[in-house]
Amino acid sequence: MSVRILGIETSCDDTGVAIYDTEAGLLGHALYSQIATHQEYGGVVPELAARDHIRKVIPLVDAVLAKTQCDRTHIDGIAYTCGPGLAGALLAGSAVAKGLAFAWDVPAVGVHHMEGHMLAPMLENPAPEFPFVALLVSGGHTLLAEVKGIGQYRILGQTLDDAVGEAFDKTAKILGLGYPGGPAISKVAELGDPTRFKFPRPMIDRPGMTFSFSGLKTAALNTVNKHELDQQTIADIACAFQDAAVETLVIKCKRALQETHINRLVVAGGVGANRHLRKELQTMCDKQRAALFFPRIEFCTDNGAMIALAGAFRMHQASDDLSFQVKPRWPID
């Protein structure tokens, strides 16, 4: 018998809602991005994020129910992101999820945001089978993990400092490209000359799969300080930054495939939307005879579909208990 899960994502600056059916797959989803709210501040303002989620969650639930022609009696459970993320933002989604679960008399389960990202490629066809190596690259995380099954995650390497998405965002700010930085950098990098500046590939000479991205942002800053910042120079620095970040990720992914003897690589998280990264990883995987799995671009960044899907796997842990706890910091392993 199929089970239908309503998923709610509110960990940062996107409000996402979706309905996932364990037999039919994703039935529908909706997203509200708060980019316009935070743009003038150059980054996410936690208090504003929480307030925006409160305003948007219920209308999005209504919209997804209407779009999928479901009513509340078709929903068997509710999944919500309970961490990691911004505390106020997480509380907004969690409170609505628990309230709906009470009103609809269904169980609710809190899911891990990064587990949602990691399982997002399973929304696609073909879906990756276990085991796989996962590269999680977002605004808050950069990690490689060996994934043997749901909840069986062995961290192979993480970042010592900035997450790669954070490095994209900070470098974009230095270049005056605004927020969010990842898409802005990748756009202007297309016009850049890849031979003009060469940035370091951090940590690649050391064994293992540990990352460090704060030095790249500093390399960008030092270059900015030494040059007149015209349009071409901005594009050239963006290009040098993106090439260095992408090559570093690709080298570590190759190492992870070789060391685990696994021939499936799954890439997820906001930076997974980067086209240069997708292309370079594909080339590496082809050479390694490994299969590469991505979510579609819209499911790389935060969304409700991945939370509904992760919730379907975690429904056995759901409870009717109305108390809830959010976990702004929550390791995945």
Is residue 274 at the binding interface for ligand KG4, with CB under 6 A as the rule? Answer: yes
Nearest to 109 by CA among 79, 83, 89: 79
Is residue 138 at the binding interface for Zn ion, with CB under 5 A as the rule? Answer: yes
> Binding site annotation covers 16?
no
Is residue 302 at the binding interface for Zn ion, with CB under 5 A as the rule? Answer: yes
Residue closer to ligand KG4 (CB basis): 21 or 166: 166
- Residue 41: φ, ψ to 5°: -95, -5
Residues in contact with Zn ion, counted by CB under 5 A, come to a total of 2
Sign of the four-CA dihedral 171, 177, 178, 182: negative
> Binding site annotation covers 117?
yes
> Binding site annotation covers 140?
yes
Q: What SS3 class is residue 146?
A: strand
Binder among 93, 180, 202, 304 for ligand KG4 (CB under 6 A): 180
CA distances from 246 to 168, 199, 239, 279 (A): 11, 12, 10, 10
Alpha helices in the chain (DSSP H): 35-39, 46-67, 87-104, 113-119, 164-174, 181-189, 214-226, 231-260, 275-288, 304-314
Least distance from C-beta 78 to ligand KG4, angstroms?
Answer: 21
**228 DSSP 8-state letter:** -
Enumerate residues 121-160 that contact ligand KG4 by CB under 6 A.
138-140
What single letter denotes the amino acid at residue 173? K
Least distance from C-beta 48 to Zn ion, angstroms?
Answer: 18
Residue closer to Zn ion (CB basis): 16 or 157: 16
Applying CB under 6 A, the residues found at the interface with ligand KG4 are 12, 138-140, 165-166, 168-169, 180-183, 186, 269-271, 273-274, 301-302
Binding residues for substrate: 136-140, 169, 182, 274
Known binding site for Fe cation: residues? 113, 117, 302
- Binding residues (CB under 5 A) for Zn ion: these are 138, 302
